[in-house]
Amino acid sequence: MSNVLRLAIVDPSDDSREALKAMLLGMDTICLEAECSRYEFFADVVAQTHPDIGIVCIDHDGEQAQSLILMENLKDVSPECSVLVISGSTDGQVILQSMRAGAKEFLTQPLCVEDLVTAIQRIGRQRFGSTGGRSRSSHVIAVAGATGGVGTTSVAVNLGCALAQDPQNSVALIDLDLALGDADVFLDTIPDYTLVDVAQNISRLDFTLLKRSLTKHDSGLYLLPRPIQLQDISLISPDDLERVIGLLKATFSHLIFDLSKRYSDLDLVAMQAAEHVLLVTQLDLPCLRNVVRLLMSMEEIEGLKNKIRVIVNRVGLENGQISMKKAQETMGVEIFKQMPNDYRVMTEVRNNGVPLVTGAPRSSLTQAMVSLAEALCGSTDPDVAGANEGSASSSSWLSFWPAKVKARGSK
């Protein structure tokens, strides 16, 4: 539980307390340690459970006398507990009194889930620092292509499935190729909801409903596909996507964005939110020329070029490919990873609607995908890392999954 913030809630109203719990319980970075319906008992609850954050809903306290005394007491019984106050009042005097009593954050009703997430994350940063062991940030990866047909979706889908093999990861794939995206085909799924459904209802979603709106694949990967109707593309604005990303980051440990080839405003939002932008190319002149053009354009956007990681796909496709050395000289950047060409394996898993980790766990292409996942996100499973330590043949933190797949198939 080292990556989770522990919360305790006090609210005399059953209805508002249940609504608050519904917002919180689907959030992977939150553990609801305790709840209480009486202000006078909450200090004892906090003293016994030692939560990281105590949420105090003050609307049912009349003149707020009890809740103010409570906040003062919390500083004595649990100095490490940060207090977050929720109230329907916008009276500056009430806010000031709460802050003086020790509140770190003050949120007003009706409560917006995005404001709640932001406040909790801000407390986490104040408590543990941006790199503290207990405040977990979400890894966001955008996968872009130098042109169509270079394998962008193959990389995005299979990278997501590789990451999802670690039981400590929760991974979501968002298909931003709104017109012709086919991530759902790669996973042989028929989703109930799409990106436009989530974007249009973002203000009414809590974390549990958000997760239910995504389709979970057998690999553990969650998918949020592109809209069904082309007419619905215009319903998703950059602001909508930013709000969706905010909630997804609070819910999942890893987000993978499969970008379109238009490099639209929506693609730019995803790239700016990303920690890494994978630029997938092949060793041919049109692709390499486009990589140079894209890198030049991305220099104009602050902070974007430094995120670019060039992935050369289908290495060994044919004898006429440009050499790796010449390609690197042409692009002017280091090649981050090479993905071998394996047409037979890739065609088979795609036609069967299964990811590489399931359909071809021993292939060189799968091993390269696992290596890419490790290079981007590192070891996140200490048990797996410990088991692999000192073994040259099992150095990858994801090297446990072929055995799992085999065992699954033998049942």
Confidence of residue 349 (pLDDT cuts 50, 70, 90): very high
Mean pLDDT of 278-287: 96
Dump pLDDT digits (tens) for 137-175: 689 999 999 999 999 999 999 999 999 999 989 999 999
Is the predicted pLDDT of residue 402 greater than 80, yes or no? no
Position 352 pLDDT exceeds 70: yes
* Model confidence pLDDT, tens digit, residues 322-340: 999 999 999 999 999 999 9
What pLDDT was estimated at residue 307?
Answer: 95
Q: pLDDT value at position 319?
A: 66
The token duo for 261 is: 């080839």
Lowest mean per-residue pLDDT among 49-53, 230-234, 389-393 = 389-393
- Residue 401 is predicted with a pLDDT of 42
pLDDT of residue 68: 86
CA angle 197, 200, 205 (to 5 degrees): 80
As a whole number of angstroms, the distance between CA 343 and CA 329 comes to 27
Evaluate the omega torsion of the peptide bond into residue 382 and state whether it is cis, within 30 degrees of 0. no
pLDDT > 90 in the chain, percent: 60
Residue 129 has a pLDDT of 61
Over 90: is that where the pLDDT of 125 sits? no
Report residue 294 as tokens: 């894209």
Q: Is the pLDDT reported for residue 318 higher than 80?
A: no
Q: Which residue has the higher pLDDT, 286 or 207?
A: 286
Q: What whole-number distance in Å separates Cα of residue 310 and Cα of residue 330?
A: 13
Backbone angles phi, psi at 138, to 5 degrees: -90, 135
Residues 6+ apart with CB under 8 A from 262: none
Strand partners, 335: 310
**Lowest-confidence range among 194-203, 205-214, 350-359?**
205-214
Q: Which class does domain 139-378 fall in?
A: alpha beta
pLDDT of residue 246: 84
- Checking if the pLDDT of 238 tops 70, the result is yes
37-46, 57-66, 72-81, 397-406: the lowest-pLDDT one: 397-406
What would the 3-class secondary structure string for 157-195 be? Answer: HHHHHHHHCCCCCCEEEEECCCCCCCHHHHCCCCCCCCH
What are residue 161's phi and psi, to 5 degrees? -70, -35
Give the model's pLDDT for residue 138.
Answer: 84
- Both structure tokens of 80: 């490490």
CATH superfamily membership of 5-128 = Response regulator (3.40.50.2300)
Rounded CA-CA distance 151/63 in Å is 62
pLDDT surpasses 50 at 382: no
List, by residue range, all CATH 3.40.50.300 domains of the chain: 139-378
The mean pLDDT value of the chain amounts to 85
Residue 3's pLDDT band (cuts 50, 70, 90): low
What's the pLDDT score for residue 399?
39
The percentage of the chain sitting over the pLDDT mark of 70, rounded to a whole number, equals 86
The dihedrals phi and psi of 202, each to the nearest 5 degrees, come to -60, -35
Q: What is the arithmetic mean of pLDDT over 30-58?
A: 91
3-state secondary structure the chain: CCCCEEEEEECCCHHHHHHHHHHHHCCCCEEEEEEECCHHHHHHHHHHHCCCEEEEECCCCCCCHHHHHHHHHHHHHCCCCEEEEEECCCCHHHHHHHHHHCEEEEEECCCCHHHHHHHHHHHHHHHHCCCCCCCCCCEEEEEEECCCCCCHHHHHHHHHHHHHCCCCCCEEEEECCCCCCCHHHHCCCCCCCCHHHHHHCHHHCCHHHHHHHCEECCCCCEEECCCCCHHHHHHCCHHHHHHHHHHHHHHCCEEEEECCCCCCHHHHHHHHHCCEEEEEECCCHHHHHHHHHHHHHHCCCCCCHHHEEEEEEEECCCCCCCCHHHHHHHHCCCEEEEEECCHHHHHHHHHHCCCHHHHCCCCHHHHHHHHHHHHHHCCCCHHHHHHHCCCHHHCCCCCCHHHHHHHHHHC
pLDDT of residue 128: 61
Q: What is the pLDDT of residue 63?
A: 67
pLDDT at 182 over 90: yes
Per-residue pLDDT, 249: 85
The angle that helices 324-331 and 285-298 make with each other, rounded to 10 degrees, is 30
Structure tokens at 396: 């990858």
Burial letters 285-323, b for 16+ CB under 10 A, else e: eebbebbeebbeebeeeeebbebbbbbbbbbeeeeebbe
Q: Looking at residues 108-121, what average pLDDT do you find? A: 84
Every domain range in the chain assigned CATH 3.40.50.2300: 5-128
pTM of the shown model? 0.72
